Amino acid sequence: MNQPLVALLRGISAAIVSELVTTLHAAGYPDITAAHHPVFYNMDAGGTRLTTLAARAGITHQSMGELVAGLIDLGYLARQPDPSDRRARLIVLTEKGTRAVRVARAAVSDIDRAWYARLEAAGIQGDLRTALSAALREAQQNSQTTVSSAEYRDRRADK
DSSP characters over 1-56: ----HHHHHHHHHHHHHHHHHHHHHHTT-TT--GGGHHHHHT--TT-B-HHHHHHH
Residues 143 and 88 in one domain: no
Residues 23 and 98 in one domain: yes
Coil/strand/helix, residue 86: strand
Least reliable range by pLDDT among 32-36, 113-117, 139-143, 144-148: 144-148
Q: Please give the model's pTM, rounded to 2 decimal places.
A: 0.81
Residues 79 and 130 in one domain: no
CATH number for the domain that contains residue 28: 1.10.10.10
Boundaries of domain holding 113: 5-125
In the chain, % of residues over pLDDT 70: 89
The DSSP letter of residue 74 is T
Residues 12 and 51 in one domain: yes
Residues 99 and 37 in one domain: yes
Query: By CB neighbour count within 10 A (0-12 exposed, 13-18 middle, 19+ buried), where does 153 fall?
Result: middle
Residues 130 and 114 in one domain: no
Residues 50 and 86 in one domain: yes
Q: Do the beta carbons of residue 80 and residue 92 sit within 8 Å?
A: yes
CA 40 to chain centre: 6
Q: Do the beta carbons of residue 77 and residue 68 sit within 8 Å?
A: yes
Residues 9 and 75 in one domain: yes
Type of residue numbered 34? A
Q: Output the CA torsion 156→63→92→16 (10° steps).
A: -50
Residues 79 and 100 in one domain: yes
Residues 60 and 117 in one domain: yes
The DSSP letter of residue 78 is E
Q: What is the pLDDT of residues 54-92, one digit of tens each?
A: 999 999 999 999 999 999 999 999 999 999 998 899 999
Give me the number of domains the chain comprises: 2
Least reliable range by pLDDT among 8-17, 68-77, 150-159: 150-159
Residues 133 and 88 in one domain: no
Residues 94 and 140 in one domain: no
Of 34, 38, 103, 30, whose CA–CA distance to 68 is shortest?
38
C-alpha separations of 85 from 49, 68, 80, 90, 138 in Å? 11, 20, 11, 10, 36
Residue 139: pLDDT band (50, 70, 90) is confident
